[in-house]
């Protein structure tokens, strides 16, 4: 009978170890997901810069027509703002914070009120 209690004790401490190992793994996983997201955003931005750099040398028609260029700039800016908003909304729906409180961190507990108020602006 004593044997059984010893076994149960042993199992209990094993379970405790597994539990704490699992907690560490979960944390590591969260960090990796966050890092992955950061790298994805950085990669996206670098691609944009690269695209701008490689097309900057080619003279455009807009450069010869300042009036037309002005109108185009406005359109481009509005498009960029819209794109920025879309990116943030997508990021949020992929499970990340976009609020200035926890930006870039994984949302562990459902919706975030800070993020939602930001999105509804």
C-beta of 100: minimal distance to Zn ion in Å?
Answer: 9
C-beta of 103: minimal distance to Zn ion in Å?
Answer: 8
3-state secondary structure of 28: helix
Among residues 49, 72, 77, the alpha carbon closest in space to that of 60 is found at 72
Residues in binding contact with Zn ion, number by CB under 5 A: 6
CB 118 within 8 A of CB 98: yes
Residue window 46-85: x/- pattern of binding to Zn ion, with contact defined by CB under 5 A: ----------------------------------------
3-state secondary structure of 96: strand
Residue 96 is a binding residue for Zn ion (CB under 5 A) = no
Stretch that binds Zn ion, among 14-22, 67-75, 81-89, 111-119 (CB under 5 A): 111-119
Q: How far apart are CA 25 and CA 20, in angstroms?
A: 9
**Which residue is at the shortest CB distance from Zn ion?**
112
Stretch that binds Zn ion, among 23-31, 70-78, 81-89, 109-117 (CB under 5 A): 109-117
Q: How far apart are CA 114 and CA 99, in angstroms?
A: 6
């Amino acid at each position: 009978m004593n044997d059984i209690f010893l076994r149960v004790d042993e199992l209990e401490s094993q379970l405790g170890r597994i539990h704490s190992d699992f907690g560490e793994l979960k944390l590591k996983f969260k960090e990796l997901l966050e890092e992955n997201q950061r790298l994805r955003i950085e990669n996206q931005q670098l691609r944009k810069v690269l695209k701008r750099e490689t097309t900057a040398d080619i003279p455009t028609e807009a450069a010869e027509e300042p009036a037309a260029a002005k109108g185009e700039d406005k359109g481009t800016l509005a498009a960029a703002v819209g794109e920025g908003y879309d990116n943030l909304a997508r990021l949020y729906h992929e499970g990340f914070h976009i609020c200035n409180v926890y930006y870039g961190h994984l949302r562990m507990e459902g919706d975030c009120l800070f993020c939602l108020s930001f999105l509804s602006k």
